[in-house]
Structure 1
């Protein structure tokens, strides 16, 4: 059990009221404070010398607190034909429970900038979004097959680190998406994901299917084969709902975008006014640093 105070914590052991009596005397309290400062334990004789008290008194209180499981025997050594027991605190704090246990609600400490970027998709430890991935079967005008589906696993693990409540089934194929009146997290580009194709003309980062380039909000063109985008935008088909689009020119670009989200999250989040949900658009370029044919690092090209 832990007692948590903001970023600080201490181990805690539960005691019965009858056990607590062993630690209420002034001398017992002094022994506990001394042992708290000596996590490796102390022998009763050393405790007596440190506190300048008679050994008999120290042994009495130590025996009581060992019996009540407030102190534990840390280790044992032979000493002058006898046995010397080093004592240590069982925990850094002790508590008495006055009521029965109830189901626990996990609490996460999420940085304000992280929470602002994830809102409204994640709120109060719950997922409030549907993840849309491209179908691996041939579909669309070009009969494309998505090779981005497995990136939804990386995304799910990432989002799960911000959740305290298990999410219901939250992933659909683009060919199965019927309801747009919700928050959506779209994975994959316009060729392999019909949802991405539908929002493309409304997105601050437009993908030109003829030139095969991304065009930023300021008109800058990005034509790298491993370019990817992360766009957070209002859902143009549902008032009050939002879309997070993670995609690339090809599968390698989607990998780069997902890698950027996982490894450069602080940079992706940027700053957001407190209590407000704001759009975000980022263009990244994947780099094969070790020349094995797989994107393994990313560089952020543009943020808005």
Structure 2
């Protein structure tokens, strides 16, 4: 859980929450919703959602009334989803140049994550939803105003509502995120469907096939050349998690196009990468 203190932001673990619980909390961190609305959004039964609301995630939500109807929302806190071994600390005085995505305390972008229900050309369900909470908590230190109240959106909504001509932060690869799929073939470092979504670089001609390999890219938005896109995507869901962590802990010039290929290294064979290494970096 990310907790604000006088000296900075501290992350503390509170309990293990499974995938559906995280998906529900993700939805409720953006807006208040009823049980039926949550069930419809996630494609689950109302009985199952009610069980999670009243039993499994009750400590993380509160009940509110909207137009006389009972709804739920998540407390303004996020649990630790990046590193299960140790807490995180971010100092309040730390500043990064995140323009044009954040400028003078104004968030001018949409964070786009894949829908948890089957969608897109591969009928895939995203498993990246719960990673967004930590990224949003981190970015939240740098802005107090937003262009959109709902600045975290599902890929299917962004596509349907024609929100492509904005600054976008895309979470997840072309299978999980339909917007990533739409831009993938135009990228100079991209995912190859014919090779089980390996990452291929036009710059070096190398193909990266490790399961923990991931891509961080910053490019002009092909839907509107005045806007930018940041892509944080792994070959697998864990790779996306690694890309988000690397983006948070490092500084980047977001005014310039760049492609960075990274890989997580599991040094003690426990299934969790302890180290992130750069395999390739290109900056225009």
Residue in structure 1 matching 2:149, options 161, 168, 172: 168
From 214, 239, 263, the equivalent of 1:253 is 239
Moved more, 138-147 or 122-131: 138-147
State the distance in 1 between where 2:221 and 2:234 align: 20
Deviation at 1:155? 1.1
Residue deviations 1:49-82 (CA, integer Å, cap 9, x gap)? xxxxxxxxxxxxxxxxxxxxxxxxxxxxxxxxxx
Of stretches 127-136 and 160-169 in structure 1, the one that deviates more from structure 2 is 160-169
Give structure 1 stretches of 5+ with no counterpart. Answer: 1-107
TM-aligned CA distance change 1:119 to 1:204, over 3 Å: farther
Task: Find the aligned partners of 2:224 and 2:133 in 1 and give their Cα distance.
Answer: 26
> Which of 228, 240, 250 is the equivalent residue of 2:226?
240
Deviating above 3 A after TM superposition, structure 1's stretches of 4 or more consecutive aligned residues are: 108-111, 164-167
**Taking CA–CA contacts closer than 8 Å with sequence separation of 6 or more, which of the two structures ends up with the larger relative contact order?**
2
Partner of 2:201: 216
The CA RMSD over aligned residues, in Å, is 2.0
Equivalences for residues 265-304 of structure 1 within 5 A: 265-266=250-251, 269=252, 272=253, 277-304=255-282
The equivalent residue for 2:177 is: 193
Structure 2 segments unaligned to the other structure (5+ residues): 1-91
TM-score (norm 1): 0.57
C-alpha distance in 2, partners of 1:160/1:290?
34
Does 2:182 correspond to 1:202? no
Residue in 2 that maps onto 1:96: none
Question: For the residues of structure 1 that align with 2:220 and 2:93, how far apart are their CA atoms?
Answer: 26
1:259, 1:297 within 8 Å by CA — same for their partners in 2? Answer: no
TM-score under structure 2 length normalisation? 0.61
User: What secondary structure sits across from 1:252 in the alignment?
Assistant: helix
Select the residue among 100, 104, 108 that pairs with 1:120: 100
Aligned residues: 185
Distance 2:222 2:105 in 1: 26
